[in-house]
Amino acid sequence: MFMDPVKVLAACNIQSTNTIADFGAGSGFVSRAAATLAPQGQVFAIEINRELVTRLTREVQEHTVPNLHVLWGDVEIPEGTKLAKESVDIVLCFNVLFMLDDKAGVAKEAYRVLKPGGKILVADWTESFGGLGPRPHHIFTQAAAETLLTSVGFKKLNGNIPAGEHHYGILFEK
């Protein structure tokens, strides 16, 4: 595994009752980790790929993760997550920015759903590695992520988050 989601999520200081949204949840490995860290909270795994939504929904039911809710949604468009304004404590964006066309749309949707003082954790690839991860021209750099998120009103919190050998991690606050 390139990244241990529990170690990366530790930077968020997740509380047991937090409401968390995982934008671009994919296979759900980050969502499941967040659900264990917030057992009395709610975790929303938001994914646009319907096959992944179906698979993750089945896995959540089979493994009985009552606080993990899988939603089909488009994180790039206003209200595409289907989450209420200022309803979330933490937004997670793991290995997703490099894939998206409207990165500003994602940042704006995260800002919309986050409560005042809420946090967004971005972790993405620093490089292509042995055929894994994005192609070199698709990498969305840490500097680009910082510029994007601060442009919509987020404040970068001090320090970088250790996110594994081939990833960067940065934490922002609304």
Residue 1's pLDDT is: 47
Give the Cα separation of 96 and 108 in Å (integer). 15
Confidence at residue 129, expressed as pLDDT on a 0 to 100 scale: 65
42-47: average pLDDT: 97
Q: Tell me the average pLDDT of the chain.
A: 89
DSSP reduced 3-state for 124 = strand
- Domains of the chain by range and CATH? 5-173 (3.40.50.150)
pLDDT value at residue 130: 65
Torsion angle of the four alpha carbons 134, 166, 30, 173, in this order, in degrees rounded to the nearest 10:
-100
Q: Which of 90, 40, 41, 96 is nearest to 73 (CA)?
A: 96
- Rounded Cα distance between 52 and 30, Å, is 14
Mean pLDDT along residues 128-153: 80
What is the pLDDT averaged over residues 58-79?
A: 93
The pTM of this model reads 0.92
